């Protein structure tokens, strides 16, 4: 994904140093004496929680597992390990394109029949598709994100003498935003300084206006960025971005607002806006940087339907892939595909799963349960973050590609034709062999 810790990456590069990793001691199970190592992006509290998952595996099997956090540098760390002949047992990969690259090179192995059966039993078919390359299943999505949520401050609505309703349609969302502006409250804080948030805005509108099939084609550049479906999505976005009253600070202010600030603008003091769009991870910023209570004055609604579209979710996630085909690695992958593993982290908080086998009661609060349920309810109408599916030069680089084109569009939403041309020119270059 687009946001990871650089500190953890430095730790991962020094893999041999025990201070940079953490080991989970094995018990007396059937894999006693065997060991595995796993690389992920997580550090800090996320690492602590994931290590509880690995501890449950160790207690169950007797195997010893070592975890190393690599942050944003995970692809580099993994490639270095593979090139040096010391691949990890398992890595948790956030970029499907990188996983596909590993599969094509033969660095990772297809999952076992038992793991494939577990994925079939516990996940909607789309998750098997997302984890497959050349018709073989290589990955298990262990942790996912719901990136189709609009978070709002109940108090802001009350202060504007508006009822707190969850707008089911894009037009209703715009109507609500205008009512807030008429009451003197900027409707939305937009984190335009971080181009990745603008890609998420576009992806949600495009998925709902163009449909999943066109979304897939656009991600593969089988559809041009000058296609009429792109125009429709930009026209819808322009209805929001083009009304300066609706955006906190206007376009110029939004382009100077980074993601954490967009959240505190809504839930901190002084309050500057009523709503902020982004994924479930917004709740983490609310909890760490404001006094507003998630589930109290801070809550969310799903990204609204466009032109009557069915419920859909743009998602991100960390996919477990295996580099070794030995007993302990296969058992670890089987465990990560099980509801048992997901339930361990679910109980700790800060976790969503696409596994329908995890009981709702495993999640610690109603908000998290609802976030997870929206993913399940979307079924196969779930799509991975489009910018993460594209070449990094197009979808994941600061100051270029999608990020820059959409920042320029936010600055002047009337330039729809120019934006489409810029996107297509950048895509042609990025997708070139």
Segments of 275-324 assigned E as strands: 275-277, 298-302, 313-322
The pLDDT tens digits for 221-275 are 999 999 999 999 999 999 999 999 999 999 999 999 999 999 999 999 999 999 9
Give the tokens for residue 297.
């004055």
The architecture CATH gives domain 6-146+316-379? 3-Layer(aba) Sandwich (3.40)
Of 292, 174, 288, the closest CA to residue 241 belongs to 174
Q: Inform me whether the pLDDT recorded for 16 exceeds 60.
A: no
d(CA 206, CA 409): 15
CATH number given to 149-311+390-431: 3.40.190.10
Quickly state the pLDDT bin for 20 (edges 50, 70, 90). low
Measured CA to CA, the distance from residue 196 to residue 184 in angstroms comes to 29
298-347 pLDDT, tens digit per residue, is 999 999 999 999 999 999 999 999 999 999 999 999 999 999 999 999 99
Cβ atoms of 113 and 121 closer than 8 Å: no
The radius of gyration of the chain's CA atoms, rounded to the nearest angstrom, is 22
Task: Look at residue 285 and tell me whether its pLDDT is greater than 50.
Answer: yes
Q: Which of the four pLDDT bands, split at 50, 70 and 90, describes residue 21?
A: low
For 153, 266, 339, the CA distances from 269, given in Å and listed in that order, are 12, 8, 40
Where, residue-wise, is CATH 3.40.190.10 in the chain? 6-146+316-379, 149-311+390-431
Percentage of the chain surpassing pLDDT 90?
90
Tell me, what's the pLDDT at 82? Answer: 97
Chain segment 343-382, per-residue pLDDT in tens: 999 999 999 999 999 999 999 999 999 999 999 999 999 9
Any idea what DSSP says for residue 309?
P
Q: Which residue has the tokens 């979808």?
A: 395
Res 18: pLDDT: 32
pLDDT band at 19 (very low <50, low <70, confident <90, very high): very low
As to burial, measured by CB atoms within 10 angstroms (0-12 exposed, 13-18 middle, 19+ buried), residue 405 is buried
Cβ(148)–Cβ(208) below 8 Å: no
Give per-residue pLDDT as tens, 34-64.
Answer: 999 999 999 999 999 999 999 999 999 999 9
Residue 377, C-beta contacts closer than 8 angstroms, at least 6 positions apart = 311
pLDDT over 90 at 203, yes or no: yes
316, β-bridge pairs: 145
CB 314 within 8 A of CB 203: yes
Q: Is residue 11 scored above 80 in pLDDT?
A: no
List Cβ<8 Å contacts ≥24 apart for 171-176.
Answer: 172/304, 173/304, 174/239, 174/240, 174/246
b/e per residue 12-29 (b: at least 16 CB within 10 A): bbebeeeebbbebebbee
Question: How many C-beta atoms lie closer than 10 Å to residue 416's C-beta?
Answer: 18
**The tokens 């499907």 sit on which residue?**
96
DSSP letter (8 states) at residue 18 = G
Question: For residue range 389-403, what is the model confidence (pLDDT) as tens digits?
Answer: 999 899 989 999 999
Tens digits of residue pLDDT in 116-157: 999 999 999 999 999 999 999 999 999 999 999 999 999 999
pTM: 0.90
Instruction: Quote the CA–CA distance of 183 and 167 in Å, as a whole number.
Output: 18
Residue whose pair of structure tokens reads 């934006």 in the numeric block:
419
pLDDT of residue 433: 85
First to last CA, the chain: 24
Report the pLDDT averaged over residues 170-181.
96
Place 2 in a pLDDT band, splitting at 50, 70 and 90. low
DSSP calls for 49-78: HHHHHHHHHHHHH--EEEEEE-GGGHHHHH
Residues 6+ apart with CB under 8 A from 318: 1, 40, 41, 92, 93, 94, 141, 142, 143, 144
> What are the tokens at 75?
């692809």
Distance CA 395, CA 404 (A): 10
Specify whether the CB–CB gap between 332 and 351 falls below 8 A.
Answer: no
Identify the residue whose tokens are 């109290």: 296
Q: For the chain, give the mean pLDDT.
A: 93
């Amino acid at each position: 994904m687009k946001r990871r810790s650089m500190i953890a990456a430095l730790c991962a590069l020094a893999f041999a140093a025990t201070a940079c990793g953490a080991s989970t001691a094995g018990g007396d199970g059937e894999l006693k004496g065997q060991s595995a190592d796993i690389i992920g992006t997580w550090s800090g509290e996320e690492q602590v929680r994931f290590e509880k998952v690995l501890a449950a595996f160790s207690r169950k099997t007797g195997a010893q597992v070592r975890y190393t956090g690599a942050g944003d540098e995970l692809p580099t760390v993994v490639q270095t390990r593979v090139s040096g002949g010391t691949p990890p047992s398992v890595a948790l990969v956030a970029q499907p394109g990188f996983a596909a690259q590993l599969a094509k090179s033969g660095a990772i192995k297809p999952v076992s029949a038992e793991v494939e059966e577990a994925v079939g039993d516990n996940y909607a078919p789309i998750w098997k598709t997302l984890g497959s390359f050349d018709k073989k299943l290589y990955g298990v999505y262990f942790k996912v994100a719901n990136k189709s949520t609009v978070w709002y401050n109940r108090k802001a609505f009350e202060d504007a003498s508006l009822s707190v309703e969850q707008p089911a349609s894009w037009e209703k969302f715009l109507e609500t935003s205008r009512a807030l502006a008429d009451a003197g409250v900027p409707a939305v804080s937009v984190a335009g300084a971080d181009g990745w948030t603008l890609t998420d805005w576009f992806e949600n509108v495009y998925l709902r206006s163009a449909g999943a099939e066109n979304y897939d084609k656009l991600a593969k550049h089988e559809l041009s960025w000058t296609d009429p479906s792109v125009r429709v999505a930009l026209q819808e976005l322009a209805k929001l971005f083009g009304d300066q009253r609706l955006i906190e600070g206007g376009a110029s202010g939004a382009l100077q607002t980074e993601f954490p600030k967009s959240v505190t603008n809504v839930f901190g003091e002084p309050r500057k806006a009523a709503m902020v769009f982004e994924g479930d991870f917004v709740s983490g910023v609310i909890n760490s940087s404001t006094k507003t209570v998630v589930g109290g004055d801070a809550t969310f609604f799903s990204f609204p339907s466009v032109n009557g579209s069915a419920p859909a979710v743009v998602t991100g996630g960390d996919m477990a892939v295996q580099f070794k085909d030995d007993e302990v690695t296969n058992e670890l992958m089987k465990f990560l595909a099980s509801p048992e593993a997901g339930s361990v982290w679910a109980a700790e908080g800060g976790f969503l799963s696409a596994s329908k086998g995890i009981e709702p009661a495993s999640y610690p609060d109603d908000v998290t349960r609802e976030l997870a349920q929206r993913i399940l309810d979307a079924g196969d109408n779930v799509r991975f973050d489009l910018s993460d599916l594209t070449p990094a030069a197009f979808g994941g680089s600061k100051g270029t590609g999608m990020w820059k084109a959409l920042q320029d569009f936010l600055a002047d939403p009337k330039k729809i034709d120019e934006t489409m041309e810029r996107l297509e020119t950048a895509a042609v270059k990025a997708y070139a062999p």
